[in-house]
A and B are shown apart, each in its own frame.
Chain A
Amino acid sequence: MKSHQSSRVFEMKVFSALTIGAAAVVVIGGVQAQNEQVTLRVAGFGAAGSVAAIKIIDAQFMQKNPNIKVDFEEVAGFQYQSILNTRFVAGDAPDVVMSNGVDFAKPWLKAGYLSELTDQPWVKNVINGNRTETYLGTNKAYQFVIENAGVGLFYNKQILDDAGIAIPQNYPQFIAAMTKLKSAGKTPISIGAKIGWGALMPVATGIVSTAYRTNPNYDQRLLNGQAKFDSPEWRTVLQRVVDWSKAGFFDAKMSLGIGDFEQAAGEFIAGRAAFLVHGSWNVDALRDSKTNKFAYGFMPFPGNPAGTKSRAIIFANANFVVNAKAKQPEASRKYLNFWADNIDTYLKETGGRYSSLTTSKYREVETAEFGRALSENRASVYPVGNWDRPSFQEFFMKQMQQLLTDNNVDSVVKALDTEFNRK
């Protein structure tokens, strides 16, 4: 009995010693924590190719800031919005979150999930064309635009040279080129419209080089009702697609079964079409191509009248925002500043992307014409993504499919106006 009791006393002593010791460890640990490792959580969509580049930047960042560990979470692109929305609502989104254009970030901002970044040093270097995305339509900065994708015209220089065609600089020249290619037995242009995107691009690039060229604030005019779709400017650019189809520059019926992205671009990359109106990211595939080595170029779509200059479309393909409830607000800002300083490294790795910062020096040779338009401020943000109507692009794409089916410009512009003004 006695020995039992004494063993209990002993146990209690050991226990209290352990408790005090543990408490001491906790206190010391707490003091040290300030200089110790913090983990910065970053979430992004794994758009092909860019993840490798993100990991390079992250590694360099961690080397420079040994006390910050970047934990990059990849979420498959087509589930990204549903997953991140859910995390934001639940209050446990990562510190830094990738976003796309303005569609993802605007609702997040309205719901109060985003942290203001106006005082960050990179904000003053944002090129004009990217202010919409950076400021999300407010007068405070919220988004760091990692990269712009451009939409414009790819041309196969070899096919043009063989047919004795100069690179078209305006719409009459472009039509003349396609006519000549057609009569030479070449496929003038590759268009895939299985979801409608590929048919929308000639229209979007067309309107930018016409209505937006003369009035860069055309978005505003549409939004406040001064401009509408049932107007000569939209009818003109929509009619162009109908004209191309009627002239046999592409097969409208067939294009409805051709994948808008890989498949339509693949035709150009394989050297089977002279032109492609598409996104600058195809530069990756063209650059990596080993068998199809032909000279090519990427330029703003020449949808402009003779005697004027064409205009480029850019859109923020990938951005970062900072969570208002970030556990590491300081490290988050440090991280974005590091990105701003090293953006050229990223652009070199990914190819076919453009910086949003005037401090960037990086240019691809093949895409120099497009880059020149950006530096001369001949660029607009992708209009359809800039109207604060998240469902409108889907609708527009379906209307384009309708147009390819029945060539009826009149019903398309009326449907667009109705949908645009629906509340």
Chain B
Amino acid sequence: MVKTRMQRPHSPSKAVPWLHYANTAALIAVVIFFLLPIFFMILVAFKTTEEMANSPFSLPLSLNFSNFLTALQRLDFLRLITNTIVITIISSVLTVLLSSLAAYPIARVRTKWMNGVYQLFLIGLTLPFFVVLLPLYLLARDLGLLGTIPGIVFVYTAFNLPFAIFFTAGFISAIPIELEEAASIDGSTPLSTFRYIILPLLRPANATVAMFIALSVWNDLLLPLLFFNRNEQRTIMPGVYTVVGEFSTPYNELFGAALLASLPLFIFYLILQRQIIAGVSAGSVKG
């Protein structure tokens, strides 16, 4: 393992301070440029319908909170957010756990059939979802999983496994094998080697995977509509998008609702981000 002291690549331009500041300023400028469309979204969320029609890009004349209030009134916001958090967290944790377990032999065992298993999982990255809807629904019905949280969690987990395994296996193969070999000489079982040696090193990979899964679960519209036939059982996004009609959509209301709905996800990301950074600066990733 290329284990080093704290790795902080420093800027080569540090020798010239003003160049470093200019560089920093330029990066900040690029980032702000990236964020402009989001500022626009926030502006719209504070506008009334005609203000939006008349001048979509101007600053709102006054801070109009009615779009947020409408969202809170129309939707059982607290309940939907709670559902979403429960489903998102269980799905992310289950996916991370199962994919880490599966990725371990995939990364370490170099046999033909293991490669076959890996390819089988990779096919899952390529499948178009619309064709699967109907058979999936019939299966869930026959297993009695419709309308249940385990049902939707299993499906989210199963569909996210290919990505998670792909990501995690790549990460494990970058970990030098010497530690495990030493552990196995010491009589450690494969499971405890995994638990005490591999899993701690996977923290940044797991956090990254969890983030990607949380994103897809949080923003998914299709499965909650399919699995739950009561509005109050569903997650937040299908609720938010009930205002989207075929012919006319009050986008200012939609944005207000969507902003509120995305806020917990953003916080979740900030928490996971700390995990990723902590894992990386601990210096456990080999290049």
Q: Which residues of A approach B to under 8 Å, CB–CB?
A: 41, 43, 45-48, 51, 71-79, 82-83, 85-87, 89-90, 92, 94, 100, 149, 261-262, 265-266, 269-270, 279, 281-282, 284-285, 288-292
Contacts and interface: CB of A to CB of B under 8 A. Distances in A.
Contact of A281 (B130, B134, B231, B248): B248
Contact of A289 (B50, B133, B244, B250): B50
Contacts of B243: 46, 48
A288 B226 contact: no
Contacts of B50: 269-270, 289-292
A306 B215 CA distance: 60
Contacts of B247: 47, 149, 261, 279, 281
B248 A83 contact: no
Given A74-B242, A89-B134, 6 more contacts: A46-B245, A48-B248, A89-B138, A90-B134, A262-B249, A289-B49
A289 B226 CA distance: 36
A46 to B, nearest CB: 4
Contact of A73 (B137, B230, B250): B230
Given A45-B245, A47-B247, A265-B248, A76 B49 contact: no
A82 B138 contact: no
A78 B53 contact: no
B82 interface: no
Contact of A71 (B51, B53, B230, B249): B230
A191 to B, nearest CB: 16
Interface of B: 48-51, 53-54, 130, 133-134, 137-138, 141, 146, 221-222, 225-226, 229-231, 238, 241-251
Contact of B242 (A76, A92, A265, A288): A76
Nearest to A197: B247
A76 B137 contact: no
Contacts of B133: 82, 86
Contacts of A288: 49
Interface of A is mostly: mixed
B245 A48 contact: yes
A76 B250 contact: no
B226 A48 contact: no
B140 to A, nearest CB: 9
Q: Select the residue from A45, A48, A71, A289 with max chain B CB neighbours within 10 A.
A: A48
Given A46-B243, A284-B248, A288-B49, A94 B229 contact: yes
B242 A83 contact: no
Contacts, number: 98
Contacts of A47: 245-248
Contacts of A289: 49-50
Given A285-B49, A292-B50, A262 B248 contact: yes
B148 to A, nearest CB: 14
A86 B137 contact: yes
Contacts of A149: 247
A78 B246 contact: yes
A79 B244 CA distance: 10
Nearest to B226: A83
Contacts of A41: 229
B226 A285 contact: no
A89 B226 CA distance: 13
A348 to B, nearest CB: 19
Contacts of B54: 270, 291-292
A265 B229 CA distance: 34
Contacts of B249: 48, 261-262
Contacts of B222: 79, 82-83
A149 B53 CA distance: 23
16 contacts: A46-B242, A47-B248, A51-B242, A71-B230, A76-B244, A82-B130, A82-B222, A83-B222, A83-B225, A89-B134, A90-B134, A261-B247, A261-B248, A269-B50, A291-B50, A292-B50
B130 A48 contact: no
Contacts of B53: 266, 269-270
Contacts of B138: 89-90
Nearest to A289: B50
B227 to A, nearest CB: 10
Nearest to B250: A48
A77 B221 contact: no
B116 to A, nearest CB: 33
Contacts of A76: 221, 225, 238, 241-242, 244
